[in-house]
Amino acid sequence: MTYQFIEIPFSFEAHIKGQQREDRAHDYLYDKWGRSVVALNESGEPDPQTCAYGKVLLKKNKRGWVALRRDKCSRCGGQGGSQAWSHTGWKCYRCHGEGTERNLSQTALYTADAAEKLCARRAAREKAERAAAEKQERARAEREAAAREARIAELSSDERYVALCNLKGAFAGDIRSRLEAGKNWDDFSDKQRAVVDHMIATAQVEANVEVNSQHIGSPKERFAFEATVVASRQIGTEAFYPYSARFLNRLVTTDGNVIVWFSTTHLERFVGKQVTGKATVKKHDTYRDTAQTIVTRLKVDNDA
Ligand SMILES: [Zn+2]
State the greatest distance between any 2 C-alpha atoms of the chain, in Å, as a whole number.
Answer: 116
151-177 pLDDT tens trace: 999 998 998 999 998 887 888 899 999
The pLDDT value given to residue 225: 95
**8 CA → ligand 1 middle, Å:** 22
The residue-averaged pLDDT of 69-88 equals 88
Report how far ligand 1's centroid is from the alpha carbon of 56 (Å).
19
- Tell me what pLDDT residue 69 has: 85
HEC profile of 79-116 = CCECHHHHHHCCECCCCCCCCECCCCEEEECECHHHHH
238-275 residue pLDDT tens: 555 556 678 899 999 998 899 999 998 888 888 888 99
How many angstroms is it from 31 CA to the middle of ligand 1?
A: 27
pLDDT > 90? residue 125: yes
What burial class does residue 217 get, using C-beta atoms within 10 Å of its C-beta: 0-12 exposed, 13-18 middle, 19+ buried?
middle
Of 229, 213, 207, which is closest to residue 276 (Cα–Cα)?
Answer: 229
Choose among 246, 294, 293, 249: nearest CA to 275.
249
Amino acid at 38: V
| pLDDT tens sequence across 199-231 | 888 888 777 777 788 899 999 999 999 999 988
- 11 CA → ligand 1 middle, Å: 26
C-alpha 184 to ligand 1 mean position (Å): 62
Give the distance (Å) from ligand 1 centre to CA of residue 166. Answer: 72
| Dihedral over Cα of 152, 155, 161, 162: its sign | positive
263 C-alpha to ligand 1 centroid (Å): 80
Q: Average pLDDT of 278-290?
A: 90
| 86 alpha carbon – ligand 1 mean position (Å) | 14
Q: How far is the CA of 57 from the centre of ligand 1 (A)?
A: 21
Q: What is the whole-number distance in angstroms between the Cα of residue 25 and the centre of ligand 1? A: 40
How is 58-77 classified by DSSP, letter by letter? EEEETTEEEEEE-PBPTTTT
Domain assignments of the chain as residue spans, ordered by start: 5-110, 159-206, 209-300
How sure is the predictor about 139, in pLDDT bands with cuts at 50, 70 and 90? very high
* 80 and 28 Cβ atoms separated by less than 8 Å: no
Q: Which of 1, 3, 5, 2 is nearest to 56 (CA)?
A: 5
Is residue 2 over pLDDT 50? no
Residues 6+ apart with CB under 8 A from 106: 66, 67, 68
- The rounded Å distance from CA 80 to ligand 1 centre is 5
What mean pLDDT is reported for the chain? 84
In angstroms, the CA 154 to CA 150 distance is 6
Q: 54: phi > 0 → left, psi -120 to 50 → alpha, else beta; which?
A: left
245 CA to centre of ligand 1 in angstroms: 72
Phi-psi region of 33 (alpha: psi -120 to 50; beta: other; left: phi over 0): alpha
Residue 29 parent element (H or E): strand 28-30
Question: CATH fold of 209-300, please?
Answer: OB fold (Dihydrolipoamide Acetyltransferase, E2P) (2.40.50)
Those residues whose C-beta lies under 8 Å from the C-beta of residue 43, and which sit 6 or more positions away, are none
Question: Residue 220 corresponds to which amino acid?
Answer: K
Q: How far is the CA of 102 from the centre of ligand 1 (A)?
A: 10
Q: Would the pLDDT of 303 be above 70?
A: no
Model confidence at 24: pLDDT above 50 = no
